[in-house]
């Protein structure tokens, strides 16, 4: 009798966005809306793809329509034109990568699950909570021990390592989802030092790097000396270029990264050539346009719109005297619920009194309770309205 992977039975049902939808539905069925319901919950983008990407996608579709330019199987690790474009993007920030250290994926979420295949299942995974729930769930599925580590207001939601930690895989997400906090260069240096000392491997989730505006904050773990022997970086165009529904990410695995004489770059080549046939040529062509001068200019305009949304929300919280972090170098704002409310209670309060939907911090780990996440990816006009309502409600609440 075939036995299932029984680790699935250890997963808690993930009700976060389901519960949000249910509560919203119930509210709408029982109430007549006096004003528009504004969603600032799910971190999905709202602006269309920029025109450089759109042109490249159309052109790639045309390539596929003609026998002479038609493209069959792509390199499983990624098309050279895109790997080169990404290596050049890193080079601008002073990070030298060779083309074969860059792997193209269908997105960071896909890769964060897939990459675990090259690690032993007896290894442990450290997750700094509050965190993107898939870090924990993907490791539960693999039967790994989870080491819970906590960020909080005191450490600015970006803690240092400490010598008591025993963990093989270390997740670091900076700028952070959900807190919007960033790890300084000095903090990342400590983590790299820790990982090299202990033989751990850092999985650095850089999905929000394009939102960093503070010059001193690293965009890549490979800006840190020593990272090439202890880190893998996973990135995505989802938030950088609005690819949430278009799907493309990339992963950097340095050639030097080895444990037990096994080379992780070579292992990943073998994984990709065995388990995939690469990412769609059309989408890779669209992605390459992001890294052109025109593409970079256009995506920065879009990011500026989201940053202006964040600013509007931050101003409202400032005016209401509410503690928050994020927003400046990240598309998320992480606020402390007023009057020590729990995060689901604040969800109800905000829905009932301001007709705004956000994400309760408890959905990102136990110690996220008491906090609340807003996204800056919404419609600008809606975000302005929401900010006014939030300010009014929370000032009144004091």
Site for a copy of itself in 150-209 (CB under 8 A): 168-169, 198-201
Q: How far is CA 193 from its chain centroid?
A: 24
User: What's the rounded Cα separation, in Å, for the pair 218 and 60?
Assistant: 34
User: What's the rounded Cα separation, in Å, for the pair 242 and 211?
Assistant: 13
Name the one range near a copy of itself by CB under 8 A: 210-218, 260-268, 293-301, 353-361.
Answer: 260-268
- Residue 157 has, within 13 A of its CA and on its CB side, a CA count of 28
Residues binding a copy of itself: what is the number (CB under 8 A)? 80
User: What's the rounded Cα separation, in Å, for the pair 122 and 273?
Assistant: 25
Q: How far is CA 3 from its chain centroid?
A: 34
Nearest approach in angstroms of CB 316 to a copy of itself is 24
Query: How many angstroms separate the Cα of 335 from the Cα of each of 119, 198, 203, 330, 346?
Result: 36, 35, 26, 14, 11
Name the one range near a copy of itself by CB under 8 A: 43-51, 209-217, 324-332, 368-376.
Answer: 43-51
- Considering the rule CB under 8 A, would residue 214 count as an interface residue with a copy of itself? no
Helix (H, G, I), strand (E, B) or coil at 356: strand
Site for a copy of itself in 275-294 (CB under 8 A): 275-283
Nearest approach in angstroms of CB 10 to a copy of itself is 11
Burial class (CB in 10 A: 0-12, 13-18, 19+), 113: middle
Q: Which two tokens stand for residue 352?
A: 């009932």
Name the one range near a copy of itself by CB under 8 A: 41-49, 91-99, 297-305, 347-355.
Answer: 41-49
Interface pick for a copy of itself out of 163, 215, 245, 396 (rule CB under 8 A): 245
User: What's the rounded Cα separation, in Å, for the pair 193 and 227?
Assistant: 8
> Of 207 and 314, which CB lies nearer to a copy of itself in the complex structure?
207
Interface pick for a copy of itself out of 90, 103, 119, 250 (rule CB under 8 A): 119
> Of 155 and 277, which CB lies nearer to a copy of itself in the complex structure?
277
Helix (H, G, I), strand (E, B) or coil at 125: strand
Nearest approach in angstroms of CB 80 to a copy of itself is 14
Nearest approach in angstroms of CB 374 to a copy of itself is 17
Window 61-80: contact mask with a copy of itself (x via CB under 8 A): xx-xxxx--xxxxx------
User: What's the rounded Cα separation, in Å, for the pair 92 and 231?
Assistant: 20
Window 124-153: contact mask with a copy of itself (x via CB under 8 A): ----------x--xx--x------------
Site for a copy of itself in 298-357 (CB under 8 A): none
């Amino acid at each position: 009798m075939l036995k299932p992977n029984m680790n699935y039975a250890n997963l808690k049902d993930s009700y976060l966005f389901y519960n949000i939808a249910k509560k919203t539905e119930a509210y709408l069925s029982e109430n007549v809306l006096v004003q528009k319901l504004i969603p600032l919950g799910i971190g999905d983008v709202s602006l269309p793809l920029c025109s450089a990407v759109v042109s490249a996608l159309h052109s790639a579709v045309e390539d596929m329509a003609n026998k002479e330019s038609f493209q069959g199987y792509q390199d499983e690790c990624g098309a050279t034109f895109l790997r080169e474009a990404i290596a050049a993007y890193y080079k601008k920030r002073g990070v030298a990568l060779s083309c074969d250290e860059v792997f193209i994926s269908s997105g960071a979420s896909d890769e964060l699950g897939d990459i675990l295949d090259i690690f032993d299942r007896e290894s442990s995974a450290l997750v700094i909570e509050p965190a993107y729930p898939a870090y924990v769930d993907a490791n539960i599925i693999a039967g790994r021990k989870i080491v819970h580590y906590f960020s909080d207001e005191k450490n600015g939601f970006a803690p240092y390592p400490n010598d008591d930690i025993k963990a093989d895989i270390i997740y670091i997400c900076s700028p952070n989802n959900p807190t919007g906090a960033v790890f300084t260069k000095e903090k990342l240096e400590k983590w790299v030092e820790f990982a090299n000392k202990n033989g751990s491997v850092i999985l650095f989730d850089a999905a929000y790097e394009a939102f960093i505006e503070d010059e001193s904050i690293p965009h890549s773990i490979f800006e840190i000396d020593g990272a090439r022997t202890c880190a893998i970086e996973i990135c995505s165009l989802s938030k950088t270029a609005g690819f949430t529904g278009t799907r493309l990410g990339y992963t950097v695995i340095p050639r030097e990264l080895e444990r037990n004489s096994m080379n992780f770059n070579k292992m990943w080549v073998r994984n990709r050539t065995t388990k995939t046939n690469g990412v769609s040529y059309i989408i890779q062509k669209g992605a390459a346009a992001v890294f052109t001068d025109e593409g970079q200019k256009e995506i920065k305009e879009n990011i500026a719109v989201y940053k202006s949304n964040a600013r509007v929300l931050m101003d409202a919280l400032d005016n209401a005297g509410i503690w928050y972090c994020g927003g400046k170098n990240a598309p998320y704002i992480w606020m402390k619920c007023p009057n020590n409310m729990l995060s689901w209670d604040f969800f109800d309060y905000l829905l009932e009194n301001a007709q705004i939907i956000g994400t309760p911090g408890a959905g990102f780990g136990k110690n996220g309770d008491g906090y609340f996440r807003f996204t800056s990816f919404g419609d600008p006009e809606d975000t302005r309205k929401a900010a006014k309502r939030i300010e009014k409600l929370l000032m009144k609440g004091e």
